[in-house]
Structures are given as structure tokens and as C-alpha cells.
Amino acid sequence: MASGANGSEPLLEDIEEFRPIGEIEDADRRRRKDLDRESARAVKGGATRGSYRKLALATIMLATVGVAFALLITAVELSKDDRQPVYDLNLKRGSPEYTLFLASAGKLLPPQIHEVVLEGELEPKGRIIIIGDVHGCIKEMKELLVEAEYVHGVDTVILVGDLGDKGPYPLEVIAEARRLGFYSVRGNHDDKALASYESFLAGKPVPSKQRWVKEMPSGAAEWLHKLPFTIRLPSYGLVVVHAGLVPDVPLTRQQLGDLYMMREVVNTTGGWRAEEAKCDPTGKLGPAWASVWEGPDHVFFGHDHERGLQRRAYATGLDTGCCYGDRLSAAILPSMRDLRAAQQSQSGSTLRPSLDPQDIKIISVPAHEKYYEDHDPCS
Ligand SMILES: [Mn+2]
């Protein structure tokens, strides 16, 4: 690993923690082989003493110990893996582009896939500002914060992911997000950046779109690596995710690839299935997932600049294509204190289970220029 600003190597340590199942099985097989060899040696020693009974007993005991040991190791490895129960990455999609996007997921999983931010972690007077796909547009991000009258240390900012690529200042966006303590979820481009960074560290070629990762400080890479796939704020009844959620599937059963890639859903006999129509030549274009999402959580997301701003009863899409020369947008939610006060004065009741769309204020600023032309139908 290239030595970064602080010279530490936690990224690789973290990766080690999330070894793919295949590797775990290989290690287990190796252990079993070693045990077999030990067992064979014991058998040999026993035979020279000429006692077949002792030999058989030793073999059985060793085999038992071996099996018990192997089971114990497997159990320990599996229990380590409990945090990531169902991450089939949907590699069966068939489209080579689709699998390309999932280059790093699975070996560079964050320590926390689904982060929860409790009310006690928010400033009581602070608002929630959720910002759409920034893609390196640092000027517009700063202008949007001014437009939002963002107060550092009071308001909570959450980015919907895709911080880099396409736009001109990916490293500055990451640095500013870290400096100001923003939350962010992982977007498909953050994932690609991580995969490219790993390639760079390993001395392998880096795709031209991610050349910027070669300048990325190790601390920034580590920060990027830790971004969860979803952030939930139970007090607001909201979830932030980069691309979307499949209706009727619990958060922890959602496929990781879908969380940062899906745009549409297709209704099947087994329920809804995520699609990324542009990336799947065989896929039939289904409805936008947000149009069939029925809550109860209100989902804020990005990734779908072609549909632009989406305002649904239980979902708000915030990718308004800043890097394509359109706009950078944000949703602003009142502080919990103000939200409670307003709702109590309206109905005298306690907080509704989900956000009312009228509590969500949308702001945006125009892009300074068109930074990127979309030649890649899959991004
Ligand atoms: Mn995206």
C-alpha cells in the first residue's frame, strides 16, 4: 500500500475482515488437509509399534478432533460473517457492464452496511440537508450550502453518494465532506473509485475515468470505504440510499448491487425485482421504483438524472444532473423540534410515522458548465 498522509494501513486490514466466502472455504480446506497429514503421520508411527488397536483408536481420536476443530473454525468464520448475511451481488444479470459496476462490492464492504442515526446524535435545532449526486462539482456544492443557509455544527448534511467521477473536483468534494462531517451513502461511482484505488495500490492499470484516485490521500480512501449503503433516521422515518430499494423487501434483505444501481422495478410472480434498464439489454423497462414505493419510510435517493427531480408520496429523487450542466439539488427537512411543534399544532397528535411531502423543501443551484457528456449508457 502506498504510504499516505498518515501512513496507516487500516483499509487493507478492513478488507481482510471481509474475506469472501470462497477464500474462507479454501482456508478451511487447507486446514483439513493439514489435519489429514497429521493424522497420516500418527498412523505411520503407530504401525511401527505394531499395535493396530492403538493405531485405530488414535486415528479415530485424531479424526474426531480434526472434525471438531474444522467445525469450530467454520463456526468462528461464519459468525464473523453474520454482519453480511445475504449479499448475493446479482451477478447473474447477464450484462458485462452490470458486473463491472460491482467490481469492489463484496471485498470492500464497509464495516456497517446499514447505518442508523438516532435522534440523540442530531442537533435538536439542526435541520437535515440531503444533497443529490455531486460528481466532483465542488463549486455548486458550496453554493448549494450557501443557498440552504447551512450552519456547520448545527445542521446535518447527508450526501446520496457518487461524490467523484464525471465532474472536475472529486478529491475536493471528498475533502470538504470529511472536513464538515457530512454523512454519505456509497454510490456506484464511489464503489468504482474504491476498486480503482485498490488497482492503483496493486500496481494495476486504473480506468481513465478514475485517474483521480491516484492522488487520493489514504485517509480519504478509508473514509470512502466506510460509507454505508444506507443511512436511516428513525426519528424522521427516512432512509437515504444511492439508487433505490425494492418494495416489500426488508432493508437487510436488499441486494447491495441494487441499492446503488437500480432505477426500475419489474413485477414478477415472486414480487418486485430490481432492474437497471439501460444496463440490461434483455430487461424490460419497468416503472421507476419510487413510483411504486409505498413507504412507510420516506426514501431519499439519487442516481437517476434522466428522470431528474422526483417527488413522490414516499420517495424523493435528487439527481438533477449537475455534472451534465443541469442543476445540483437538495432536500431540506425541518429540525425535529420544529417538525414536532408544527405537527402538534396541526393535529394535536404525535409524530406521523412518515414524513409529509409538504415538510420537504427542495432547493437547487445551476451548474457552472457542462462537465460531462454521457457516452456510457450504464452510468
Ligand atoms: Mn450513480
Per residue in 172-208, pLDDT (tens digit) is 999 999 999 999 999 999 998 998 998 899 898 988 8
Confidence of residue 115 (pLDDT cuts 50, 70, 90): very high
| Percent of residues, the chain, with pLDDT higher than 90 | 49
Give dist(CA 329, CA 320) in Å, integer.
6
3-state secondary structure of 304: coil
3-state secondary structure of 365: strand
C-alpha of residue 187 to centroid of ligand 1, in Å = 5
C-alpha of residue 263 to centroid of ligand 1, in Å = 10
Q: What is the mean pLDDT of residues 201-218?
A: 92
Q: Could you read off the pLDDT of 280-315 as tens digits, one per residue?
A: 455 456 788 999 999 899 999 999 998 899 999 999
Give dist(CA 304, CA 314) in Å, integer.
16
Query: What b/e readout covers 74-85, taking b as 16+ CB neighbours within 10 angstroms?
Result: eeebeeebeeee
Closest of 6, 9, 10 to residue 110, by C-alpha: 10
C-alpha of residue 358 to centroid of ligand 1, in Å = 27
pLDDT of residue 377: 52
- The DSSP element (H or E) to which 37 belongs, if any, is helix 21-48
Confidence of residue 79 (pLDDT cuts 50, 70, 90): very low
Selected residue with higher pLDDT from 345 and 234: 234
| Percent of residues, the chain, with pLDDT higher than 70 | 71
* Residue recorded with cell 412518515: 354
Confidence of residue 140 (pLDDT cuts 50, 70, 90): very high
C-alpha of residue 303 to centroid of ligand 1, in Å = 4
Q: Could you read off the pLDDT of 247-264 as tens digits, one per residue?
A: 999 998 888 888 998 898
C-alpha of residue 348 to centroid of ligand 1, in Å = 41
Cis peptide leading into residue 296 (ω within 30°): yes
pLDDT of residue 284: 54
Domain extents for the chain? 19-83, 91-366
C-alpha of residue 163 to centroid of ligand 1, in Å = 9
* pLDDT of 135 above 70: yes
- Lowest pLDDT segment from 7-16, 232-241, 317-326: 7-16
- Structural fold of domain 91-366: Purple Acid Phosphatase; chain A, domain 2 (3.60.21)
Sheet holding 238-241, edge to edge: 114-116, 230-233, 238-241, 298-301, 315-317, 310-311
Q: What is the mean pLDDT of residues 307-335?
A: 96
C-alpha of residue 39 to centroid of ligand 1, in Å = 54
Model-level pTM greater than 0.85? no
Closest of 265, 215, 209, 243 to residue 315, by C-alpha: 243
pLDDT of residue 285: 66
pLDDT of residue 65: 80
Alpha carbon 198 to its chain centroid, in Å, reads 17
Q: Sign of the CA dihedral 246, 248, 249, 251?
A: positive
Neighbours of ion ligand 1 (CB under 5 A): 162, 187-188, 303
C-alpha cell, 69: 476443530
* pLDDT of 217 above 60: yes
* pLDDT of 72 above 70: no
Contacts of 157 (CB under 8 A, 6+ apart): 129, 130, 131, 145, 150, 177, 180, 182, 183
Helical packing angle, 218-226 and 170-179, nearest 10°: 70
C-alpha of residue 161 to centroid of ligand 1, in Å = 7
Q: What is the mean pLDDT of residues 314-326?
A: 96
Q: What is the mean pLDDT of residues 24-44?
A: 57
Residue 311's CB: how many other CB atoms inside 10 A? Answer: 13
* Residue recorded with cell 414478477: 268
* pLDDT of 47 above 70: no
Contacts of 256 (CB under 8 A, 6+ apart): 87, 89, 102, 105, 106, 109, 113, 229
* pLDDT of 127 above 80: yes
